[in-house]
């Protein structure tokens, strides 16, 4: 299985519009971060986790020409705002399966009402097949199983996902002990780390490193990064040797 980091930035992306912060002005391509998302693909199957405002650009840059579905972690705009841009996949293959918690589906229906309209649909409107997912109910994606992992983004429930020995958790601040058990034996863990300073709804760097030390994967990658984290090159040097700062367009093999 390949995991392609489509975006590794926090909600505003890096550079932040109008910012004169040195990281926003950096010429290192690793300091340019679109909104957070990954593309996972294997043996002709292709899924993305989240579909933020940079979705179109990410699909073009990664050459992701086929998509079998979108898994949503939660409804925040940096994870969902690109949903209108699934149309090229619809024109090719028909309605696109989406997998999300009931609350997230309700939110998508409100914000993208025209996508879910059943009567008098605009002919070119995006179309989806809704798959409501629940915690403790693993579900099929292609010939593999995705295990939802419930985490807390402040007081908002968010889903992370485990597929085989790979797990992707973003927008985590806390996680209950019985959910941590679902990560037993995971070899590659992706987890959010916003910046060094604490934040109310995201792991900071130390919290992410402590969590990784608890899970003990072979390798871990940090994502959902703010410009306040600092320069990629400098932060990368400070990390334990099995922990990497992810960057946009990095592709890893699981």
* Residue numbers at the binding site for Zn ion (CB under 5 A): 78, 171
Nearest to 205 by CA among 189, 184, 228, 185: 228
Nearest residue to 141 via CA among 64, 65, 69: 69
Instruction: Judge whether 80 and 171 are in contact, CB under 8 Å.
Output: no
Q: What region does 171 belong to: left with phi over 0, alpha with psi -120 to 50, or beta? A: left
We find the least distance from the C-beta atom of residue 193 to Zn ion, in angstroms, to be: 12
CA 194, CA 171: separation in Å to the nearest integer?
A: 9
Least distance (Å) from Zn ion to the CB of residue 83? 15
Count of residues making up the chain:
254
CB of residue 164 vs Zn ion: minimum separation in angstroms?
24
Question: Please, which residue, 78 or 207, has the CB nearer to Zn ion?
Answer: 78
- Residue 76 or 93 with smaller CB distance to Zn ion: 76
Closest approach of Zn ion to the CB of residue 168, in Å: 13
Min dist. Cβ of residue 78 to Zn ion (A): 4
Tokens standing for 178? 């019985």
**Both tokens assigned to 121:** 């649909």
If the CB atoms of residues 23 and 194 are measured against Zn ion, the closer one turns out to be: 194
**Residue 96 and residue 70 in contact, taking contact as beta carbons nearer than 8 Å:** yes
The span from the CA of 152 to the CA of 175, in Å, is 6
Distance CA 134, CA 192 (A): 22
What is the distance between the alpha carbons of residues 197 and 191, in angstroms, rounded to a whole number?
Answer: 17
Taking the complex as a whole, the smallest distance from the CB of residue 158 to Zn ion amounts, in Å, to 9
């Amino acid at each position: 299985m390949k995991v392609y980091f489509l975006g590794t930035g926090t909600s505003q992306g890096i550079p932040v519009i109008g910012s004169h912060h040195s990281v926003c002005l950096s010429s290192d391509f690793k300091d340019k971060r679109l909104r957070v998302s990954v593309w996972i693909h294997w043996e002709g199957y292709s899924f993305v986790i989240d579909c933020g405002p940079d979705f179109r650009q990410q699909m073009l840059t990664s050459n992701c020409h086929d998509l079998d579905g979108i898994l949503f972690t939660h409804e925040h705009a940096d994870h969902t705002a690109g949903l209108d841009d699934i149309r090229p996949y619809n024109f090719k293959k028909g309605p696109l399966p989406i997998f999300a918690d009931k609350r997230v589906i309700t939110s998508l229906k409100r914000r993208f009402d025209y996508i879910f309209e059943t009567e008098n649909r605009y002919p070119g409107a995006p179309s989806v097949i809704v798959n409501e997912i629940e915690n403790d109910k693993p579900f099929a994606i292609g010939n593999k199983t995705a295990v939802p992992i419930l985490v807390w983004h402040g007081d908002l429930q968010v889903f992370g996902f485990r597929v085989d020995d790979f797990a992707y958790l973003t927008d985590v601040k806390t996680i209950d002990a019985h959910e941590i058990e679902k990560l037993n034996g995971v070899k590659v863990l992706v987890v959010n780390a916003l910046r060094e300073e604490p934040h109310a709804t995201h792991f900071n760097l130390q919290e992410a490193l402590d969590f990784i030390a608890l899970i003990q994967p072979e390798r871990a990658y940090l994502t959902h990064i703010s410009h306040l984290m600092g320069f990629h090159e400098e932060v990368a040097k400070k990390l334990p040797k099995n922990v990497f700062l992810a960057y946009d367009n990095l592709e890893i093999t699981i």
